[in-house]
């Protein structure tokens, strides 16, 4: 029996990053016979801070972000032959939504990209890969995304 059966690929919907991450996931899936699912998490707008008076637009903006992400996910899923029922767009805190989706699909491997933030950058923006590695109930493969 292969080590991995269900691979969950965390995407940020940036084509250059997603290509690197999904390529590694597909290599593993090919050798192990695993199925691949995609997930993208839309962070709530309130995480970014709204300007005064923008509260009434919050739901509309968040809905537009979610719909845009679903459209991008659909295109990527079609390109990579991932069926719609294995494409997930969630709204919420990234770590929580990734881990919940991993449990839902019974992932035994999560593949996530990392930009290796350190110091103040990590303090302000966090490091999703670190968060997921520390709390996942399955294996996590963090793919370094080289910017430069």
The position carrying tokens 């390109």 is: 79
Instruction: Name the pTM for this structure.
Output: 0.84
Instruction: With beta carbons less than 8 A apart as the criterion, state whether 6 and 32 touch.
Output: no
Residue-wise pLDDT for 83-121, tens only, equals 999 999 999 999 999 999 999 999 999 999 886 554 444
Domain boundaries, the chain: 6-143
- Token pair belonging to 55: 């509260």
pLDDT of 14 above 50: yes
Determine the Cα–Cα distance for residues 123 and 36; give it in Å rounded to an integer.
32
First-to-final CA distance of the chain: 39
The pair phi, psi for residue 143, each rounded to 5°, is -95, 120
Q: Is residue 148 over pLDDT 70?
A: no
Q: What is the DSSP letter of 51?
A: P
Tell me the CATH architecture of domain 6-143: 3-Layer(aba) Sandwich (3.40)
């Amino acid at each position: 029996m292969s080590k991995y059966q269900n691979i969950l690929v965390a995407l940020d919907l940036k084509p250059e990053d997603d290509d690197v991450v999904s390529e590694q996931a597909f290599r593993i899936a090919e050798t192990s016979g695993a199925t691949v699912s995609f997930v993208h998490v839309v962070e709530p707008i309130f995480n970014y801070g709204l300007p005064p008076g923008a509260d009434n637009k919050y739901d509309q903006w968040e809905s537009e972000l979610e719909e845009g992400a679903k459209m991008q996910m659909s295109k990527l899923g079609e390109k990579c032959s991932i069926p719609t029922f294995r494409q997930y767009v969630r709204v919420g805190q990234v770590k929580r939504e990734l881990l919940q989706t991993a449990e839902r699909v019974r992932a035994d491997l999560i593949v996530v990209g990392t930009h290796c933030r350190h110091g103040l950058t990590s303090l302000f923006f966090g490091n999703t890969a670190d968060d997921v590695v520390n709390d996942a109930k399955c294996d996590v493969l963090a793919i370094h995304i080289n910017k430069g």
